[in-house]
């Protein structure tokens, strides 16, 4: 039977009812970072705690990757099936700005400052049928 596996251990809570990205916060200076680090880049402290990061934030900046990257890109796509993808930094309040892929790739529908949710979706399917799960930033629909 096929399984759903996270793209990397410790990147986000998985499996979970309400998955979230995992960051670390320095117990000395209070600075958060993603992914979890063993020490603090801001103050060199080594006393850090792991915490779930907020799941909604605002888009700080963005681009659309219009051409297919060379390896280590590993999507299962071919140059013929490649779909351009959005990339951005999502500012998570009280936490950190996290870089990730956007679910949207139409430049006309992406603006700095728009609200987005962190979502977890199938990134690629392995030959044995296992689904590799990664995180994406998805525009908040009107009314949500």
Partner 1 sequence: MMDVAIVGIGIHPFGRTPSRTGLQQGAYAARLALKDAGVAWKDIQFAFGGSASAGNADALGNELGLTGIPFINVANGCATGGSSLMAAYSAIKSGEHDLGLVVGFDKHDRGAFNADPKALGLGDWYGEVGLMMTTQFFAMKIQKYMHDYGISSGTLAKVAEKAFTNGALNPNAWRREPVDADTIANSMMLNDPLTKFMFCSPAEGGVALVLCHADKARQYTDKPVYLKSAVLKSRRFGSFEVFAPSQALRQVDGPTVDASKAAFEMAGVGPRDIDVAQLQDTESGAEIMHMAENGFCEHGEQEHLIQSGATHIGGSMPINTDGGCLANGEPIGASGLRQVYENVLQLRHEAGEHQVPGEPKLGYTHVYGAPGISAVTILQR
Kindly determine how many residues on this chain lie close enough to bind partner 1 according to the rule CB under 8 A: 41
10-15, long-range: CB within 8 Å, 24+ apart, which pairs? 10/35, 10/36, 11/35, 11/135, 12/120, 12/135, 13/52, 14/120, 14/133
**Helix, strand or coil for residue 65?**
strand
**Distance from C-alpha of 36 to C-alpha of 120, rounded to nearest angstrom:** 18
33 near partner 1 (CB under 8 A): yes
**Closest to partner 1 by CB, 1 or 70:** 70
């400052």: which residue's tokens?
A: 113
137 near partner 1 (CB under 8 A): no
Question: Are 32 and 53 a contacting pair, CB within 8 Å?
Answer: yes
28 near partner 1 (CB under 8 A): no
**Helix, strand or coil for residue 108?**
helix
Per CB under 8 A, the list member of 28, 39, 58, 75 interacting with partner 1 is 75
55 near partner 1 (CB under 8 A): no
Per CB under 8 A, the list member of 2, 4, 8, 126 interacting with partner 1 is 8
Find the binding residues for partner 1 in span 92-111 (CB under 8 A). Answer: 95-101, 107
42 near partner 1 (CB under 8 A): yes
Q: Which residues pair with 48 in a beta bridge?
A: 26
Residues forming the site for partner 1 (CB under 8 A): 7-8, 11, 23, 31, 33-35, 41-42, 60-67, 69-75, 85, 87-89, 91, 95-101, 107, 112, 123, 134
């Amino acid at each position: 039977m096929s399984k759903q596996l996270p793209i990397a251990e410790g990147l986000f809570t998985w499996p979970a009812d309400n998955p979230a990205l995992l960051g670390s916060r320095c117990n000395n200076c209070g600075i958060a970072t993603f992914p979890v680090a063993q020490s603090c880049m801001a103050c060199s402290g080594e006393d850090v705690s792991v915490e779930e990061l907020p799941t909604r934030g605002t888009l700080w900046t963005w681009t659309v990757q219009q051409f297919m990257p060379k390896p280590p890109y590993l999507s299962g796509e071919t140059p013929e099936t490649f779909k351009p993808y959005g990339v951005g930094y999502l500012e998570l309040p009280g936490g950190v700005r996290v870089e990730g892929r956007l679910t949207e790739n139409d430049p006309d529908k992406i603006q700095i400052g728009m609200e987005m949710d962190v979502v977890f979706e199938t990134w690629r399917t392995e030959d044995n049928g296992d689904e590799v799960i990664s995180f994406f930033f998805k525009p908040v629909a009107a009314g949500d």
